[in-house]
A and B are shown apart, each in its own frame.
Chain A
Amino acid sequence: MAQDKEPIVFGGSIPLSGVFAFAGVHLHAGLTDYTSWINSQGGINGHPVKYVMEDTGYEVDRSVAAFKKITGSNTVPVYYGDSTGFMKTIASELNSRGTTLMSGASFATALTDNEQYPYQFIPGPNYSQMFGIILEYIASQGEGGEKPTVAFVYSDTEFGKDPIENGKEKAAELGIDVVEEIVTKPGSVDVSAEVLKLRRVRPDYVVFHGYVLSPINEFMVQMRQMGLDTQFMGTFWSSDKLIINKMGEDADGYMGVMPYNYYDSQESGPMLDALRAQAEKSDPEAGYRPTGYMQGWFNAMVWTEVVKRTLDAGKELNAKNMAESLSSIKDWDTGGIIGVPVTAKNMSFPVGRIWRVNAKEGRYEPVSDWIQLD
């Protein structure tokens, strides 16, 4: 569809190479496909959308270089940041420029501090809110007035430690006993000593955070071999099919918190259907699209909504106005990407659902309703 108006640029520092490339290529595909789709719908208020990105290798200095390069040759109202490190690093420049609203791959709790990061938002719940959703689910599973017990296993990284303090507070608030905390290196393989600690306390639930796969699989296999009936749960980046693909039948019963519907879920909605149709059109061979794809698409949806609201209000597309537009999002229908109308709170969307692996079917199935935090 031809449009004569100035294009609106979606900028992005995208990790197509480096350690986060496994997700980066799908984030990129989600953003690319959304751009094609929105342009086929007439763009944003008649403005075509142009997606301009650079590979960063998941390195902060290269991400900053990409940001400077892209914003130097385009007017960029919205931008995708590839890591917490980059988003923290660029914050001071973002604040002084006041031209660009940013979101990205990070769900870091710190980024929802409006004082320090007024122009950055999370396209879903932040990690603390994910823990909140998980703990609300766990609290609802108690029987006979007894609350289940929980253990936190997290990586020795900024990513891993992010929600732990808030998670402990939330657990105390809900009357859940955190019986053990275990810190490991991300990607650890030998966790037998840690498994013995968990065996001693026998938690009803173990919540993993700060990993993509290992050592989640190691913990699960070893603890099941010991005959423990512990339930295992994880947050966004450890709740994709990777765990099913790597563990097979052993992944059965693993649960994850996910703010979006899975690509292969039985849910539907006009936008979810459009996403599937566009994904099929852009790469008919690809089949299942990972959660990174969903996140990229949803990111771009929020940008569109924010830009649209700002333009509709007759305001300039600057960071302050767009941040206000973001805050005005209330009971927004995402067309099935998220199963309930969502409201932006504190530069995030604190909503999610618990999904459980059905290993036989090779997919996640919902086990809770959508949980929205206050």
Chain B
Amino acid sequence: MRIGDAKQTYEADEAIWTSQTQKLWFALFLLVLLVFPFMANAYLLYLGCLVGIAVISTTGLNILTGFTGLISLGQAGFMGVGGYTVAWFSLNTGLPFPITLLLAGLLAAAVGILVGLPSLRVKGLYLAIATLAASVFLHFIFAEWESVTGGMGGLSLEPAHLFGATFQSDFSMYFIIVPLAVLMVFAARNVFRTRIGRAFIAIRDRDISAEILGIDLLRYKLMSFALSSFYAGVAGGLFAYFYRVVTPESFPLSMSIFYLAAVIVGGMGNLLGGILGAAFMTLIPEILKLLTAALTPFYPNAPVFMSPMLEIIFGALIVGFLIFEPHGLAEIWHRIRRFFSLWPFRN
């Protein structure tokens, strides 16, 4: 039984794993992720892939908003850059997916740096509006730069391919999306063990103090924007390969709000929160539909009356979290963990 969490070295303080039990649980979780596609039906597999894409994008936004304190409503725009990059390179050069995804991330990061430029001068709501403007601008480019983006009709692309293998089904896409999601969350975790990540946190906590400590605000803020947009670009690229079609309407403003809500509901500044928030936002509408399905045998017209109600329930759940659990789902998870760690001494 664990009775304490004493850390005697800096290395112990920086370690990803604090106990063997944690490692064991994580190994078990990876095993579940591995076995899942072999057990799940097409519907669950599809949702699994969607959650994977959402986890990558939410993690990116969490780096920017949760860890660096820079609010952004441009995530859908950056995902769009990633989606169109993948589509364009795949259609015009036939490059394999690892390269196109990397290019998607890099181009989105470059755009992110540009969009992040005002972040030295403006923050909070002002920055939200600046990023919103960038998102609108990007949407305009997607819709109007017809020779590259296909205009409003968008682009249809071939399945992802590598060494002659094509990744067409949700089953095969799962093995691209989920490992990448795990890898990118781990990468983000490691960022916060370095000077860069700590600088982000210092900026979030008090940017003036961070500057006094010697942190170059513009450099680190832009770095945060670049990193966050890189994640969004990769998520957008995966989105493009997953649906195999990108149009300007694939990346609406509501998508940015969706990811921001995922970060908030999951827990800002907490990577686990990003994962839980992404899963919550993606799955709850589907889970709520089960309510309707349960009513249908007794009341055949239930979908007509229940569907608008489900939207309200979904909204109410989000508001409920903000009121009763402002630290998000991650805090609930931590409480559960604490309960088992301390049991039976305190519950």
Q: How far is the CB of A63 from chain B (nearest CB, A)?
A: 11
Total contacts A-B at CB 8 Å? 80
Decide if A85 touches B307 in the complex (CB within 8 Å).
no
Given known A65-B46, A92-B244, contact A17–B310 (CB-CB < 8 A): yes
Residues of B within 8 A of A61 (CB): 50
Chain A interface SS verdict (over half): helix
What is the chain B residue whose CB lies nearest that of A83?
A: B249
Contact between chains at B244 and A65 (CB < 8 Å): no
B247 and A21 contacting across the interface, CB-CB below 8 Å: no
Q: Is B156 an interface residue (CB 8 A)?
A: yes
B243 within 8 A of A: yes
Residues of A in contact with B, size category: 20 to 34
Chain A residues contacting B152 (CB-CB under 8 Å) are 157-158, 161
B169's closest neighbor in chain A, by CB? A96
A85–B247 CA distance with the chains assembled, in angstroms: 8
A148 to B252, CA, bound (A): 39
- Flag if A88 contacts B303 (CB, 8 Å): no
Does A156 lie at the interface of the complex (its beta carbon under 8 Å from any beta carbon of B)? yes
A60 to B258, CA, bound (A): 14
Most buried by B among A14, A92, A156: A92
Q: Which residues from chain B contact A268 at a C-beta distance below 8 Å?
A: none
Interface positions, chain B 232-280, Cβ under 8 Å from A, are 243-245, 247-250
A110: nearest chain-B partner, CB-CB = B153
B247 & A25 in contact (Cβ 8 Å cutoff)? no
A65 to B170, CA, bound (A): 12
A16/B308 in contact, CB under 8 A = yes
A72 touching B41 by the CB < 8 A rule? yes
**Is there an interface contact between A69 and B143, defined as CB atoms closer than 8 Å?**
no
**A62 close to chain B: CB less than 8 A:** yes
With A55-B292, A68-B43, A116-B156: A158-B247 Cβ-Cβ less than 8 Å:
yes
Q: Which residue of B lies closest to A283 (CB)?
A: B301
Decide if A54 is an interface residue (CB 8 Å cutoff): yes
Contacts of A28 in B (CB 8 A): 303-304
Binary A-proximity of B138-164 (CB < 8 A = 1, otherwise 0) = 000001000000011110100100000
Contacts of A110 in B (CB 8 A): 153
Task: Tell me which residues across on chain B come within 8 A of A157, comparing CB atoms.
Answer: 152, 249
- Smallest CB-CB separation from A17: which chain B residue? B307
- CB within 8 Å of A: which B273-300 residues: 285-286, 289, 292
Contact (A21, B303) CB under 8 Å given A64-B46, A89-B245, A96-B168: no
Known: A68-B46, A85-B247, A96-B168. A54 touches B289 (CB 8 A): yes
Task: Tell me the minimal C-beta distance from A278 to chain B in angstroms.
Answer: 15
Question: Quick one: closest B residue to A62, CB to CB?
Answer: B285
Residues of A within 8 A of B159 (CB): 92
Q: Counting CB contacts under 8 A, is B176 at the interface?
A: no
Contact of B311 among A57, A60, A71, A158 (CB under 8 A): A57
The smallest beta-carbon distance between B56 and chain A, in angstroms, is 15
Which residue of chain A is the closest to B301 with respect to CB atoms? A32
A21→B41 CA distance, assembly (Å): 29
A307 within 8 A of B: no
**A85 and B46 contact, Cβ closer than 8 Å, known pairs A16-B304, A55-B310:** no
> Chain A: which residue is nearest B285 at the CB level?
A62
Give the CA-CA distance A89 to B170 in the complex, in Å. 13
How far, in angstroms, from A17 to B307 measured CA to CA in the complex? Answer: 6
> In whole angstroms, how far apart are the Cα atoms of A53 and B306 in the complex?
13
Instruction: Provide the bound-state CA to CA distance between A62 and B292, in Å.
Output: 15
With a cutoff of 8 Å between Cβ atoms, the chain B residues found around residue A71 in the complex are 42
> CB-defined interface of A41-68 with B at 8 Å, one 1/0 digit per residue?
0000000000001110100111011001
Contact between chains at A60 and B304 (CB < 8 Å)? no
**Inter-subunit contact B308/A158 (CB<8 Å):** no
Q: Does B47 contact A (CB under 8 A)?
A: yes
Interface string of B24-62 (1 = CB under 8 A from A): 000000000000000001110111001000000000000
B256 to chain A, nearest CB (A): 15
Residues of B within 8 Å of A72, CB to CB, are 41-43
Report the separation of the CA atoms of residues A145 and B304 in the bound assembly, to the nearest whole angstrom: 53
Question: What residues of B have a CB within 8 angstroms of the CB of A91 in the complex?
Answer: 156, 245
Docked-complex contact A57 and B153, CB < 8 angstroms: no
Q: Which residues of B contact A158 (CB under 8 A)?
A: 152-154, 247-249
| Complex-state Cα separation, A62 to B254, whole angstroms | 14
A61, A85, A89, A96 pick with most chain B CB within 10 angstroms: A61
- Provide the bound-state CA to CA distance between A306 and B84, in Å: 38
Say yes or no: A88 contacts B308, CB within 8 Å: no
A93–B326 CA distance with the chains assembled, in angstroms: 41
CB pair B247–A88 under 8 Å, yes or no, is yes
Whether A16 pairs with B307 at a CB distance below 8 angstroms is yes
Cβ-defined contact, B143 with A156, below 8 A: yes
Provide the residues of chain A in CB contact with B248, threshold 8 Å: 158
Q: Find out whether the CB atom of A57 lies under 8 angstroms from the CB atom of B43.
A: no
CA distance A212 to B42 in the complex (A): 35
A25/B249 in contact, CB under 8 A: no
Known: A28-B304, A53-B303. A65 touches B47 (CB 8 A): yes
Encode contact with B along A137-166: 1 for CB under 8 Å, 0 otherwise: 000000000000000000011100100000
What is the CB-to-nearest-CB distance from A240 to chain B, in angstroms, rounded to a whole number? 19
Which residues of chain A are within 8 angstroms of B310 by Cβ–Cβ distance? 17, 55
Q: Check B244 against A57 for contact (C-beta < 8 Å).
A: no
Cβ contacts A to B, 8 pairs, < 8 Å: A55-B307, A62-B286, A69-B43, A72-B42, A73-B41, A116-B156, A157-B249, A158-B249
Residues of A within 8 A of B (CB): 14, 16-18, 21, 25, 28, 53-55, 57, 60-62, 64-65, 68-69, 71-73, 85, 88-89, 91-92, 96, 110, 116, 156-158, 161
Q: Report the 10 A-B pairs with minimum CB-CB distance, sorted nearest first.
A: A16-B307, A158-B152, A55-B307, A69-B43, A68-B43, A17-B307, A68-B42, A72-B42, A68-B46, A72-B41
Beyond the given A54-B289, A92-B156, A158-B247, please list 12 additional residue pairs across the A-B interface where CB-CB is below 8 A.
A17-B311, A21-B307, A25-B304, A53-B303, A55-B292, A55-B303, A57-B311, A68-B45, A72-B42, A88-B154, A88-B245, A157-B152
